[in-house]
Amino acid sequence: MAEEKRKPWSGRFKGAPHALATEFNASISLDWRLFRHDIRGSIAHAKALERAGILKKGERAKILKGLRSVEKEIASGGFRFTPDMEDIHMAIEKRLT
């Protein structure tokens, strides 16, 4: 089966969530402060995936470089957070990919 890109609300829902629901579910306005911790966890995860043979060394290096770049962008104030990002992990993942 071909893997398809899905929007967060695809599947049993036919439309996008109401703006109020998106705003209600979003914690990004508070948890953005955790960006350094989230990035450290993602770095550790990428290293573990390499040790497990799931990522190649070059793939891990690209991910780490990207995560460090996102960290600098957030720290410098150059990253714009929006409610559709939901939480800090989703925001970092979206920016990284």
Q: Is residue 42 part of a domain?
A: yes
pLDDT at 3 over 80: no
What is the number of helices (H) and of strands (E) in the chain?
5, 0
Q: Is residue 39 part of a domain?
A: yes
How do residues 11-34 score in pLDDT, each as one tens digit? Answer: 666 777 677 766 666 788 788 999
Query: How much is the pLDDT for 1?
Result: 39
Q: Is residue 7 part of a domain?
A: no
Q: Is residue 18 part of a domain?
A: no
- CATH number, domain of 80, equals 1.10.275.10
How do residues 47-90 score in pLDDT, each as one tens digit? Answer: 999 999 999 999 999 999 999 999 999 999 999 988 778 889 98
Alpha carbon of residue 6 to chain centroid = 15
Q: Is residue 89 part of a domain?
A: yes
Question: Residue 16 carries which DSSP code?
Answer: P
44 is in which domain, residue-wise? Answer: 33-96
Please give the helix or strand (H or E) that residue 51 lies within, else none: helix 35-51
Nearest-angstrom CA–CA distance, 41 and 93: 12
pLDDT at 4 over 90: no
Q: Is residue 86 part of a domain?
A: yes
Q: Is residue 3 part of a domain?
A: no
Tokens of 47: 């290293």
What global pTM score does this model have?
0.74
Give the number of other CB atoms < 10 A from CB of residue 80.
Answer: 9
